[in-house]
């Protein structure tokens, strides 16, 4: 018996990285799973792998989280469901002096407004006892040059989590946020050149208390805890290998 037997899980951003790892963990725990992502080809490969892993059909939907109508259609088609994880987003690193209005708005639409309205539209289709897992990032507490918009979005998501826990509680729903540090994902590698990736890996080994970067599977483990522990809501879990403990 898995911890999610008889339950249904949606992962938006579920074709790679942390999202795919969450979908894999949910399948392993017995859940029926739906995944959504921007790229149809990678989404299909992920769904086929999940079907081989769990032996049941995986619902898949190519969409952008900014497309509120498309996201709402997924909720209606998969309803009623129990849990939703929202790790997918696009926030490119840009120096403040080079920031444009288009980049700032695109970033907020992808990482803040997309998940914000997904929670709003998804909750009416969720069963009591269900949960939402959002993703922010440690830049809200440990900022770095070139990521001021990302830091602002992370802070907004964390504040929303605490408020929404109060709003959603009467409906029997919980909401929590994972705040990752350096997790090695395909998106990270896509946003940085190879030399920069190697330099960051070496820096993480030197600076982090655990001596290495995190894995998508470790983020998925945190998401499973949030989904299965009914006494946890309104929390921000920092998953950073000890970064915030360093100077």
CA distance 177 to 213: 20
Q: pTM for the complete prediction?
A: 0.94
Which of 103-117, 206-220, 225-239 shows the lowest per-residue confidence on average (mean pLDDT)? Answer: 206-220
As given in the structure block, the two tokens for residue 107 are 């970033």
Band (pLDDT 50/70/90 cuts) for residue 1 is confident
Q: What is the mean pLDDT of residues 131-153?
A: 94
Do the beta carbons of residue 162 and residue 237 sit within 8 Å?
Answer: no
Q: Look at residue 192 in the predicted model and tell me its pLDDT.
A: 61
pLDDT, the chain, mean:
94
CA distance 167 to 181: 28
Q: If 0-12 CB within 10 Å is exposed, 13-18 middle and 19+ buried, where does residue 86 land?
A: buried
Band (pLDDT 50/70/90 cuts) for residue 240 is very high
Q: Look at residue 89 in the predicted model and tell me its pLDDT.
A: 78
Q: If you classify domain 8-240 with CATH, what class do you get? A: alpha beta
Which of 131-145, 153-167, 178-192 shows the lowest per-residue confidence on average (mean pLDDT)? Answer: 178-192
Per-residue pLDDT tens over the stretch 87-112: 977 788 899 999 999 999 999 999 99
Band (pLDDT 50/70/90 cuts) for residue 187 is low
Q: Look at residue 52 in the predicted model and tell me its pLDDT.
A: 98
Domain residue limits, the chain: 8-240
Q: What is the mean pLDDT of residues 43-62?
A: 98
Band (pLDDT 50/70/90 cuts) for residue 246 is confident
Residue where the block lists tokens 């090695």? 184
Cis? peptide before 44, omega within 30° of 0? no
Q: Look at residue 193 in the predicted model and tell me its pLDDT.
A: 67
């Amino acid at each position: 018996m898995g911890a999610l037997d008889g339950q249904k899980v949606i992962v938006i951003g579920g074709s790679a990285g942390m999202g795919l790892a969450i979908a894999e963990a949910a399948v392993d725990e017995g859940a029926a799973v739906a995944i959504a992502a921007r790229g149809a080809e990678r989404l299909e490969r992920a769904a086929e792998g999940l079907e081989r892993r769990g032996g049941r059909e995986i619902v898949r939907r190519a969409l952008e989280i900014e497309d509120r109508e498309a996201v709402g259609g997924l909720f209606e088609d998969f309803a009623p469901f129990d849990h939703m994880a929202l790790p997918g987003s696009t926030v490119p690193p840009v120096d403040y002096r080079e920031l444009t209005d288009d980049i700032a708005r695109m970033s907020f639409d992808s990482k803040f407004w997309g998940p914000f309205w997904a929670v709003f539209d998804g909750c009416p289709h969720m069963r009591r006892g269900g949960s939402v897992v959002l993703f922010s990032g440690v830049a809200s507490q440990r900022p770095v040059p070139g990521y001021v918009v990302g830091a602002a979005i992370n802070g907004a998501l964390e504040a929303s989590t605490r408020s929404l826990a109060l709003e959603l509680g009467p409906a029997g729903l919980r909401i929590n946020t994972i705040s990752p540090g350096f997790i090695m994902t395909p998106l990270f590698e896509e946003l940085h050149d190879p030399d920069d990736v190697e330099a960051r890996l070496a820096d993480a080994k030197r600076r982090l208390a655990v001596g290495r970067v995190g894995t998508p599977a470790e983020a998925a483990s945190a998401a499973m805890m949030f989904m299965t522990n009914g006494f946890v809501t309104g929390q921000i879990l920092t998953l950073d290998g000890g970064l915030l403990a360093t100077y």
